[in-house]
Amino acid sequence: MFDLTGQVALVTGASRGIGEAAARSLAKYGARVVLAARSAGDIERIAGEITASGSKASSVTCDVADYEEVASAIRHTVETFGAIDILVNNAGVIEPISRIEVSDPDGWDKVIDINVKGVYHGIRAAVPHMLEKGAGTIVNISSGAATGALEGWSHYCASKAAALSLTRCADKEFREKGIRVVGLSPGTVATQMQVDIKASGINPVSQLDPSVHIPPEWVGETICWLCTEAGDDYRGTDCSLRDEGVRKAVGVI
């Protein structure tokens, strides 16, 4: 069990998959949670379910590619619950999957706007509040694609490499100020993204049997674990959920 009582968390991309699982796990361990996503329907429903279970949750629409919307979501978090202690930069996309020579420049740009700028926007908006307290945790959802090239994923690989670099830079700038910045590379997770990857038929990942993908709840639990002192060992780098030792420490196996 991880004690996050009194902590306030904002999770981006919280309408489904890893983001939803993270929000539910954070609330389970005592955090007050704000769910952010581009559309309101699902996050309002999930926040309502969390609240009905006895925890505290709120929702806010937010396109992470737009800095002002991210800053507004941070303000909503602070105004609603009085602080922001945890930021989970989860929002991310992989479509359109395509080889470079036939890729759509606008689609490629959109992935960078969400997967890279979205992480920067979250850090930029949250850190001033964390610096005031002298404490905070930022978890950036990463991928093995951050360090490994895959056919058809030039946008995704480049974006996750950039996100890893942001994790490293933010750690260097804020570690001595009490802010923990970590990345989490979950491996393949049973979400809509894997359905899209499967449909593309490009590169070995699309050929994986769905049975090998881990449930998003494992990722949600690991995010909570990283928000405790256990996360100190992963400051400025990516923690891999493929690591059996990590899985055992989290308690998902």
Burial of 90 (C-beta count, 10 Å sphere; 0-12/13-18/19+): buried
Measured between alpha carbons, how far is 253 from 75 in angstroms, rounded to an integer? 38
Which two three-digit tokens encode residue 170? 């933010």
Measured between alpha carbons, how far is 156 from 49 in angstroms, rounded to an integer? 32
Whether 118 and 125 have beta carbons less than 8 Å apart is answered as: no
The contacts of residue 79 (CB under 8 Å, 6+ apart) are none
Q: Given 29, 67, 120, 156, which residue is catalytic?
A: 156
Annotation says 234 is catalytic: no
86: β partners: 9, 137
Measured between alpha carbons, how far is 53 from 39 in angstroms, rounded to an integer? 23
Active site residues: 156
